[in-house]
Amino acid sequence: MKTRHISYLFWILTLLFALPASAQEMIVGSLDVKVSPINSDVYVDGKKVGTTPDVFRDIQVGQHCVEIRKDGYESLTKTVTINENEQESVTGTLKAIVAATPSTPSSPSTPNSPSTSNLSCPDDNHPHMIDLGLSSGTKWACCNVGANKPEGNGDYYAWGETQTKSKYNWSTYTHCDGSEENCHNIGSDIAGTRYDVAHVKWGGSWVMPSRDQIKELKDNCT
Ligand SMILES: [Zn+2]
């Protein structure tokens, strides 16, 4: 019985000592984020706080991980130290992601490579990065995944698969358990993930294009 009392006492003491710390007033500073393009998402310690450009007040003093993200761009991560009543700033420009052109069964009839008739590669080390002067800054690959010339069809991949195979049906589809009804959700935005064949095969910042990137290419190229 005696030990029990002691442990209660200890618990109460711990509570008493713990209280002042949690009730402590927050000491804050502010963070000015000027990163282009505008409307990029701003995350502080993994939590979205708003978009660029903006000044974020009431950031607790100390070290924080600030990340700026936007679709189609490489994210920018910075560690900042916020001091009491001072303003820290993060500036910069996000780098546009390079898009590749994997062939997928979902669009087999769409020619999805840039105007290729008069395009030739400097050497056989494909993929080459082609700057088409698009306003987003997106650069396209010279070839489809698996192709060795700009006009080549390249390899044929099922959605979210990164290997070719001899039979393409539901029973051979990696992201299903044998039938269309038993598919796993791999998400609709797989660019840059382990389901993205361009990213898996080519590495680096190569990714399959997003719908917006394909639209930009179609709208601006002949
Ligand atoms: Zn090439």
Q: Report how far ligand 1's centroid is from the alpha carbon of 119 (Å).
A: 9
- Distance (angstroms) between ligand 1 centre and the Cα of 147 equals 9
192: CA distance to ligand 1 center in Å?
A: 21
Q: pLDDT (tens digit, 9 = 90+) per residue, 48-102?
A: 999 998 999 989 999 998 999 988 888 888 899 999 989 999 998 888 877 666 5
Distance 127 CA to ligand 1 centre (A): 5
CA of 106 to the centre of ligand 1 (A): 24
Q: What is the per-residue pLDDT across 163-203, written as a single tens digit (0 to 9) for each?
A: 999 999 999 999 999 888 999 999 888 999 999 999 999 99
Q: How much distance in Å is there from the Cα of 220 to the middle of ligand 1?
A: 21
For residue range 6-57, what is the model confidence (pLDDT) as tens digits?
A: 566 555 545 555 554 444 567 999 999 998 888 899 999 889 999 998 999 9
CA of 141 relative to ligand 1 center, distance in Å: 7
Order of strands across the sheet that contains 28-36 = 54-60, 28-36, 87-93
- How is residue 156 written in tokens? 């044929």
- Give the CA angle between residues 10, 16, 22 to the nearest 5°: 130
Q: Report yes or no on whether pTM surpasses 0.85.
A: no
Euclidean distance between the first and the last CA atom of the chain, given in angstroms as a whole number: 87
Task: From the options 2.60.40.10, 2.40.50.1020, 1.10.20.140, 3.40.190.10, give the CATH code of 26-93.
Answer: 2.60.40.10
Query: Domains of the chain: which residue ranges?
Result: 26-93, 96-222
Q: How far is the CA of 132 from the centre of ligand 1 (A)?
A: 14
CA of residue 174 to ligand 1 center, whole Å: 30
